[in-house]
Amino acid sequence: MKVSGEKLNFVLNKVRVIREHLKTCPHPQEPTVNPDDIRWAIQDLYALEIDIVEVTFTAEHLAGNIERFDNKRARILVRSGQTAPMKRFVATKELSHLAIDEQDDWSTLGVETIKNLLSEYQLLEKNGEGHQNPARSLASEILAEIAAIELLYSFEYREADIKKIEADETTINKIALEHDVPPFAIETALVHYDVLKQIWDEINKA
């Protein structure tokens, strides 16, 4: 799926605000960012009350989900049995929805959205582009993944990490261990380094 520069700018600006707020958190944030601290930052910024709980899903491909309530409360459900880095990523992705989604992005069709997301990855492998006219819920899911990656693996590490990989001084798996995230998150961040750098440069100049 092609994501517009405008949407990326919007999401990365949200990430910037959250990361700035994390600096006021008493716990150390680098290189491993704590999703509980991300929850604290989003609660504080948006006046929300957020619970994160582990559950057992019957849907095979559902790693996590979010329930929103009218009283500015939300509950994030994370599938038990996943690796610790995957749980951290899923929790952060669902938290990101609370910061970046607009009302029209909300979808109760969780399983269908996950199926569409899997289809997106399959299309990316085949044509390198993915869906050309995705549903808003699918676009929201992709953007939430981008936000989660940016929150858990700060952009400032990437230029040096790319050079280390090219010099055989490290690997994607080693970087993933350092930041306690799934390897695919590191790979995704580095594959799209140039595009993300352009957006971050625009944000930092503003």
**Over the stretch 89-98, which tens digit does the pLDDT of each residue have?**
999 999 999 9
pLDDT tens-place string over residues 40-57? 999 999 999 999 999 998
Torsion of the alpha carbons at 38, 121, 142 and 183, rounded to the nearest 10:
20
Read off the pTM: 0.82
Q: Which residues pair with 76 in a beta bridge?
A: 52, 66
More confident position, 27 or 45: 45
pLDDT score recorded for residue 28: 66
Average pLDDT over residues 172-192: 96
CA–CA dist 35, 192 (Å, integer): 23
Give the pLDDT confidence score for residue 29 in this predicted structure. Answer: 65
- Checking if the pLDDT of 125 tops 60, the result is no
Reported confidence tier of residue 124, pLDDT bands at 50, 70, 90: very low
pLDDT for residue 128:
46
Neighbours of 166 (CB within 10 A): 9
78-117 residue pLDDT tens: 999 999 999 999 999 999 999 998 654 444 444 444 444 4
Q: Round the average pLDDT of the chain to a whole number and report it.
A: 83
